[in-house]
Amino acid sequence: MDSQAHAARATWNLLHDLWMMTPKCRRSLRAADEAIRQARRDIDWLAVLPAQAAQVVLKTYHRAWKNCWEGRADAPNFKARFRTMMSVDIPQGRDLHVKRVHRRWGMVNIPKVGRIRFRWSRDLPVRKNANADNRITGARLVKDALGWHIAFRIQTLQSAPEPHTGSEVGIDTGVNVPLALSDGNHQDHGRPPRLPNGTADREKWLNPDEKAKLLRLEQQAAHRKSFHKRGEKTARRLQNTYDQIKRLRATATRRATDWQHQTTTELARAYGVIVVEDLDIPNMVKSARGTIDNPGKNVAQKSGLNRSISQEAWGRTVTMLTYKTARHGGTLHKVPAPNTSLRCSACGFITPGSRQDQSTFVCKNQDCGWSGNADHNAARNILHLYRMGHALIPAAGRAVVRRPRGVKPATAR
């Protein structure tokens, strides 16, 4: 399986090399397909990859260019050996022959590998209950620090969900409170987002024993790396230490993703309308280092905040909420993000100095004086913007504000 993954990565790099060297007027999928066939005939280690999997690499590469041309992604590039996730696609479900052995394990056929045992984590349409509307159409093998994993693609026929009759809620994604809800039912994973000295805790999803082990491994890796000379091959002991560090960090990432899945599922089941901010996350996590002529300020503090934002994975949370609300009959809306954390949710005015810190909001308006959690205040503002008709509608690649006739912009309550 490792050999197939390396062959798939090499096929991608060869395709990219061929595509960039060929003049634009002569580029075609047919020529690239013929080049792949000829390379698999001439190079033995490329032939380890099944022909169908090689065709998927070509389709994925062409899709990457289409995403670039349509403005959804950057141009594809070469895949490095140590920074690319190893993966292999199995596009045809009939080659898998999935069979359940007992409650916890199943067997699957991998082309050019053989029968492999895998952990049975959810129901699959095996031969007994498979039909044209409920069947396995393919699979994808992915390797991370914890080993190989298989994800099955399933085609199933489901009835349209009934409209959700739940209430409306605004959600503010934050650092101190991961998900602050407008009704006060905040979702917290119970782990401090930042250390007492203000820096981000990278391993907050690990227990104390695992954190101590990770610290010991990092110190061990630093000591062994001091004997490593530039240009030499990494020693086996140092590589084993790196592998143990990767496994611990992969465990933390898996726990964070599991919490996100469980929390977003509960929210999609409980609420019929979920409103979030339209955040430009890549712009929020830009470095504050600046340039030599114009250096930045508070660079270390901004770096810690950027790490905390990246660890909370706000974009992935919104993606999960989008398809889970649709699955349960609800809807998800986005509203403009400016001033949601600065405006008072009680009086509606923006008064300088009201935002005390990351967790406290005290309205400085003499006629108001409302105080509370800053994230809760922002969540209430988000819901109010939706009710005032300021939801964003994607049109022609941009977001426009939908405001009912006769309704003025939200300034005061």
Report the pLDDT averaged over residues 85-101: 90
Q: Is the domain of 93 the same as that of 77?
A: no
Q: Is the domain of 172 the same as that of 276?
A: yes
| Residue 400 three-state SS | strand
In a domain, 209, yes or no: no
Q: What is the pLDDT of residue 120?
A: 92
In a domain, 407, yes or no: no
Q: Is the domain of 331 the same as that of 360?
A: yes
Residue 408 has pLDDT above 60, yes or no: no
Q: Would you say 309 and 284 are in contact if contact means Cβ atoms under 8 Å apart?
A: yes
Q: Is the domain of 59 the same as that of 176?
A: no
In a domain, 254, yes or no: no
Domain boundary among 56, 84, 112: 84
Q: Is the domain of 171 the same as that of 290?
A: yes
Q: Is the domain of 70 the same as that of 107?
A: no
Residue 406 has pLDDT above 50, yes or no: no
Q: What pTM was computed for the model?
A: 0.81
Give the count of domains, the chain.
Answer: 3
Q: How many CB atoms lie within 10 A of CB 223?
A: 11
What confidence category does residue 401 fall into, taking pLDDT thresholds of 50, 70 and 90? very low
For the record, the structure tokens of 245 come out as 């560090």
CA distance linking residue 283 with residue 164, whole number of Å: 34
In a domain, 319, yes or no: yes
Q: Is the domain of 102 the same as that of 136?
A: yes
218-232, 237-251, 317-331, 395-409: lowest mean pLDDT where? 395-409
Instruction: Quote the domain boundaries for residue 6.
Output: 2-84
In a domain, 149, yes or no: yes
Domain boundary among 156, 185, 207: 156
CA distance linking residue 381 with residue 413, whole number of Å: 11
Q: What is the pLDDT of residue 64?
A: 92
132-146, 211-225, 352-366: lowest mean pLDDT where? 352-366
Q: Is the domain of 39 the same as that of 178?
A: no
56-60, 296-300, 408-412: lowest mean pLDDT where? 408-412
pLDDT tens readout for residues 336-349: 888 888 888 888 78
Question: Among residues of the chain, what percentage have pLDDT more than 70?
Answer: 90
Residue 241 has pLDDT above 70, yes or no: yes
In a domain, 243, yes or no: no
Residue 403 has pLDDT above 60, yes or no: no
Q: Is the domain of 270 the same as that of 149?
A: no
More confident residue, 41 or 195: 41
Residue 323 has pLDDT above 50, yes or no: yes
Interstrand relation of 167-173 and 179-181 (parallel, antiparallel or unpaired): antiparallel
pLDDT tens readout for residues 169-223: 999 888 888 888 888 888 888 776 555 554 456 678 888 899 999 999 999 999 9
Residue 87 has pLDDT above 80, yes or no: yes
Q: Is the domain of 179 the same as that of 314?
A: yes
Domain boundary among 40, 57, 84: 84
| Residue 167 three-state SS | strand
Q: Is the domain of 323 the same as that of 352?
A: yes
Q: Is the domain of 139 the same as that of 186?
A: no
